[in-house]
């Protein structure tokens, strides 16, 4: 396996140790295909997960940014889930309150389809501008109306003249191979303005490590931030951190910051230590193969008993689960609540994505839930279908 990156993208240290190596993973977990043959021949990549002994950052050394082209086919919106809507509404309300955003301008980098930007602008009666090449203009207009403008492009220095009272960037930083360049560019764009607030949210690497969340390791994510490495990054790029916390039952990290005066580091430190992170990484690496074997055996047991299995969750976890286990046609369908995924096919393994209502006639024996945070609402939907499969959270 070719390692293309030898130094940490957060602190530039070369003291890197290997956590796990994975071959043949879909380059895009969040691009479902229109035909099964197309899905079975989806582009694949490699992962060589490295751990930085200096700052505790984890990253894919085999990541090739040239393979990443985000278009309107990229679909990772979670807003069709009531549980997720509850979470993001709470986040948006908190930001509007803390930063007094009523009537203010909000800029979102990597706004997806515009769900969160429209939500926060609606709560505060403000104006929003979002940047994302994967945004479908028709869907964006249905959310925010005239108060929200979506630019179907990557944010770059050519947009540095766009100023805002709040800059938010959710679940984007982990996709960026050079986060130092990205954040220092944002700092330069602020110029002399010192009152802009910044809100970033990323997956929590420590949650993934401690939970042995091997299905969270996907090609799209070249970086996996801990509180330690996230604080190190923002401190080094001229930001003053005001808050760093966990959200969504520990699955996300949220950081709030402003511009550090005189270009000085904010000096924020995390309670995590690199030694503790290293022990979590070593345990994750040691149990990776065992967890894969366990689930392969479970699915083989169901198959031998001629039980019908479905996976609930057509996002990155479900796609990673199916491809890592390489179960072929043992699983025929994947359930998802997003109507934009229905009728599409999983890259690499070719399962068709179906709406929950399909289960009323399919009558599965086993429903494997990829993210337990949604377990309550999934049970309610299944009960509403008047079917009684065994529900197994991963």
Residue 2 confidence (pLDDT): 57
Going by C-beta distance under 8 Å and a sequence separation of 6 or more, which residues neighbour residue 30?
74, 75, 76, 220, 315, 316, 319
User: Distance of CA 215 to CAs 36, 229, 325, 391, Å?
Assistant: 22, 22, 10, 18
pLDDT at 222 over 90: yes
Identify the CA nearest to 113 among candidates 89, 88, 139: 139
8 Å CB contact between 108 and 347: no
Residue 193 confidence (pLDDT): 86
The string of DSSP codes covering 116-160 is HHHHHHHHHT-EEEEE-TT--HHHHHHHHGGGEEEE-S---GGGT
Residue 327 confidence (pLDDT): 83
Going by C-beta distance under 8 Å and a sequence separation of 6 or more, which residues neighbour residue 223?
9, 10, 57, 58, 59, 60, 173, 174, 175, 176, 177, 179, 202
- Return d(Cα 111, Cα 169) in angstroms, integer: 7
Mean pLDDT of 130-155: 78
* pLDDT tens digits for range 56-66: 999 999 999 99
* pLDDT tens digits for range 312-368: 999 999 999 999 998 888 999 999 999 999 999 999 999 999 999 999 999 999 999
pLDDT at 1 over 60: no
Residue 266 confidence (pLDDT): 58
Handedness of CA 176, 97, 81, 251 (dihedral sign): positive
* 71 or 182, greater pLDDT: 182
pLDDT at 142 over 80: no
Pairing of strands 197-203, 223-224: unpaired
- Residue 249 phi, psi dihedral angles, 5° rounding: 55, 40
- Return d(Cα 248, Cα 42) in angstroms, integer: 31
For 9, how many CA atoms within 13 A lie in the half-sphere containing its CB?
27
User: What band does 144 get if pLDDT is binned at 50, 70 and 90?
Assistant: low
8 Å CB contact between 81 and 376: no
pLDDT at 71 over 50: yes
H or E stretch at 303: helix 274-304
- Please provide the CATH number assigned to the domain covering 277-393: 3.40.50.720
Sole residue written with tokens 């229109």: 34
Identify the CA nearest to 209 among candidates 10, 81, 19, 14: 19
Topology adopted by domain 82-269: Rossmann fold (3.40.50)
Percent of the chain past pLDDT 90, that is, above it, reads 87
Least confident of 15-19, 265-269, 313-317: 265-269
- Return d(Cα 200, Cα 257) in angstroms, integer: 9
Mean pLDDT of 234-261: 95
8 Å CB contact between 318 and 334: yes
| Arithmetic mean of pLDDT over the chain | 93
For the chain, domain boundaries:
16-65, 82-269, 277-393
pLDDT at 136 over 80: no
* pLDDT tens digits for range 280-305: 999 999 999 999 999 999 999 999 99
- Return d(Cα 223, Cα 212) in angstroms, integer: 17
Residue 57 confidence (pLDDT): 97
Pairing of strands 127-131, 148-151: parallel
pLDDT at 116 over 60: yes
User: Distance of CA 387 to CAs 298, 311, 357, Å?
Assistant: 22, 16, 11
Mean pLDDT of 78-99: 96
pLDDT at 73 over 50: yes
User: Distance of CA 194 to CAs 95, 223, 234, Å?
Assistant: 18, 28, 15
pTM attached to this predicted model: 0.94
Mean pLDDT of 179-195: 92
Sole residue written with tokens 């969504």: 248
H or E stretch at 366: strand 366-369
Residue 267 confidence (pLDDT): 64
Query: Hey, which residues does 202 pair with through a beta bridge?
Result: 253
- Return d(Cα 350, Cα 38) in angstroms, integer: 8
- Residue 57 phi, psi dihedral angles, 5° rounding: -80, 150
Residue 120 confidence (pLDDT): 96
What are the strands of the beta sheet with 148-151, ordered from one edge?
148-151, 127-131, 105-109, 166-170, 197-203, 252-259, 239-247
């Amino acid at each position: 396996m070719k390692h293309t990156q030898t130094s940490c993208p957060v602190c530039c240290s070369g003291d890197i140790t290997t956590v796990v190596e994975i071959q043949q993973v879909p380059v895009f977990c969040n691009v479902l295909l229109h035909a099964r043959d197309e899905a079975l021949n989806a582009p694949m990549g490699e992962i060589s997960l490295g751990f930085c002994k200096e700052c505790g950052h984890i990253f894919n050394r085999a990541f090739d940014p040239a393979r990443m082209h985000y278009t309107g086919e990229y679909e990772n919106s979670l807003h069709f889930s009531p549980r997720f809507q509850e979470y993001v509404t709470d986040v948006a309300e908190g930001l509007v309150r803390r930063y007094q955003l009523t009537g203010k301008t909000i800029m979102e980098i990597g706004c997806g389809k515009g769900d969160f930007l429209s939500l926060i602008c609606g709560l505060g009666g403000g104006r929003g501008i979002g940047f994302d090449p994967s945004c479908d203009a028709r869907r964006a207009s249905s959310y925010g109306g005239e108060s929200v403008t979506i630019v179907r492009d990557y944010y770059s220095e050519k947009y540095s003249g766009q100023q805002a009272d709040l800059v938010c960037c959710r679940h984007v930083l982990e996709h960026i191979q050079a986060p130092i360049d990205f954040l220092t560019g944002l700092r330069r764009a602020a110029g002399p303005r010192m009152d802009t607030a910044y809100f970033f949210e990323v997956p929590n690497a420590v949650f993934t490590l401690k939970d042995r969340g091997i299905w969270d390791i996907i090609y799209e994510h070249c970086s996996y931030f801990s509180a330690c490495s996230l604080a190190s990054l923002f401190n080094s790029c001229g930001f003053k951190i005001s808050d760093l916390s966990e959200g969504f039952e520990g699955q996300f990290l949220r950081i709030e910051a402003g511009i550090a005066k005189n270009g000085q580091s904010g000096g924020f430190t995390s309670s995590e230590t690199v030694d503790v992170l290293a022990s979590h990484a070593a345990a994750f690496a040691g149990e990776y193969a065992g967890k894969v074997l366990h689930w392969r055996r479970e699915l083989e047991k169901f198959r031998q008993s001629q039980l019908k299995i479905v996976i609930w969750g057509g996002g990155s976890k479900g796609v990673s689960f199916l491809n890592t286990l390489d179960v072929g046609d043992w699983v025929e369908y994947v359930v998802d609540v997003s109507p934009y995924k229905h009728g599409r096919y999983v890259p690499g393994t070719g399962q068709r994505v179906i709406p929950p209502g399909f289960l009323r006639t399919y009558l599965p024996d086993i429903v494997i839930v990829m993210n337990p945070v949604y377990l309550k609402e999934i049970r309610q939907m299944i009960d509403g279908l008047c079917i009684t499969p065994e529900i197994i959270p991963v």
